[in-house]
């Protein structure tokens, strides 16, 4: 296979032509060369094959059109682990890590035999992250998309927690049965017609939009969740930046315990309890 020297100057020229930053160009090249960004950062030239150069140019073109790095590489870090992500799943986001933190603050006994439900699982990043810390817990992953569930399965296998998992294709609770210690969900909460940024537009619409006011998923989850929670069981819900008041107006028998802000100071996670 033919190889050539790619100088950093040439790399930056290729990146500039596609309106891609140096950092993103190096991240893409690091993935192609199976190395790390830090190892490439101080190098002035790189040995690449024809195939690798062609791949790089394709990646730069896609990035220049706004496609997120995570979607191009089909992976994104979340809570200290790498997750597969595709055009069929919502990319894991840092603010969703707050659900993991709040759960771990409440369930201090890491050996507990907990029954969890990751509702609208996407990549499975919420439930799978928890299974890494609770080896005796089991999690049922629910999503309306079969392709999303395939991604969850790949991630479960890669993280070594497959034996703790089950999977159900369902429209929210429709085909779910059983009783759970905790239900965890980052449902769609964007109002139809909202002007998304370019990168978010690469996520699947079904994982983003929830009716004219962004509340349709909550309107289904909150009234039904008590039927699937054990006594004193908890529901963790991520919400949009302007949805606190609307959430409190949805009729449910659950008790709202807290609303936690993310690092930007935005109310982000609601915790409800099945106070029976």
| pLDDT tens digit sequence for 153-196 | 999 999 999 999 999 999 999 999 999 999 999 999 999 989 89
Task: Determine the pLDDT at residue 276.
Answer: 67
Measured in residues, the chain has a length of 276
In 10 A of CB 36, how many CB atoms? 12
- 195, with CB counted inside 10 A (0-12, 13-18, 19+), is exposed
Q: Specify whether 22 is located in the same domain as 99.
A: no
pTM for the whole structure: 0.95
* Total tally of structural domains belonging to the chain: 2
d(CA 189, CA 210): 5
Domain presence at residue 12: yes
* 71 part of a folded domain: no
pLDDT beneath 70: ranges in the chain? 276
Single out the residue in 65, 92, 115 at which a domain terminates: 65
Enumerate the β-bridge partners of residue 185. Answer: 237
261 and 129: one domain?
yes
Identify whether 70 is part of a domain: no
> Do 103 and 13 fall within a single domain?
no
CATH of the domain at 231: 3.40.50.150
Return d(Cα 226, Cα 7) in angstroms, integer: 60
Range of the domain at 108: 76-273
- Whether residues 26 and 149 fall in one domain: no
| pLDDT of 275 | 87
| Listed residues 65, 94, 109: the one ending a domain | 65
Query: How many Cβ atoms are within 10 Å of 13's Cβ, its own excluded?
Result: 10
Q: What is the pLDDT of residue 88?
A: 97
């Amino acid at each position: 296979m033919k190889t050539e020297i790619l100088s950093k100057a040439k790399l930056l020229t290729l990146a500039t032509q596609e309106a891609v930053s140096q950092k993103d160009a190096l991240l893409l090249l690091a993935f192609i060369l199976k190395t790390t960004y830090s190892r490439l950062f101080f190098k002035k030239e790189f040995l690449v094959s024809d195939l690798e150069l062609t791949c790089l140019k394709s990646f730069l073109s896609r990035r220049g059109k706004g496609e997120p790095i995570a979607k191009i590489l089909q992976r994104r870090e979340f809570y200290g682990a790498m997750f597969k992500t595709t055009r069929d799943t919502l990319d894991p986001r840092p603010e969703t890590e707050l659900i993991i933190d709040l759960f771990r603050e409440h369930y201090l006994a890491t050996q507990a035999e907990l029954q969890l439900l990751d509702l609208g699982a996407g990549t499975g990043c919420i439930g799978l992250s928890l299974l890494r810390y609770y080896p005796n817990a089991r999690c049922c992953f629910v999503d309306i998309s079969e392709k999303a569930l395939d991604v969850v399965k790949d991630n479960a296998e890669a993280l070594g927690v497959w034996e703790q998992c089950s999977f159900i294709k369902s429209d929210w609770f429709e085909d779910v049965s059983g009783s759970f210690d905790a239900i965890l969900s980052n449902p769609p909460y964007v109002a139809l017609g909202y002007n998304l940024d370019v990168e978010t537009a690469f996520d699947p619409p079904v994982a983003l939009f929830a009716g004219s006011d962004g509340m349709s998923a909550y309107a289904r989850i909150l009234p039904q969740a008590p039927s699937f929670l054990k006594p004193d069981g908890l529901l963790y819900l991520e919400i949009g930046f302007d949805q606190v008041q609307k959430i409190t107006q949805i009729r449910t028998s659950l008790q709202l315990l807290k609303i936690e802000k993310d690092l930007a100071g935005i109310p982000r996670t609601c915790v409800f309890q099945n106070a029976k």
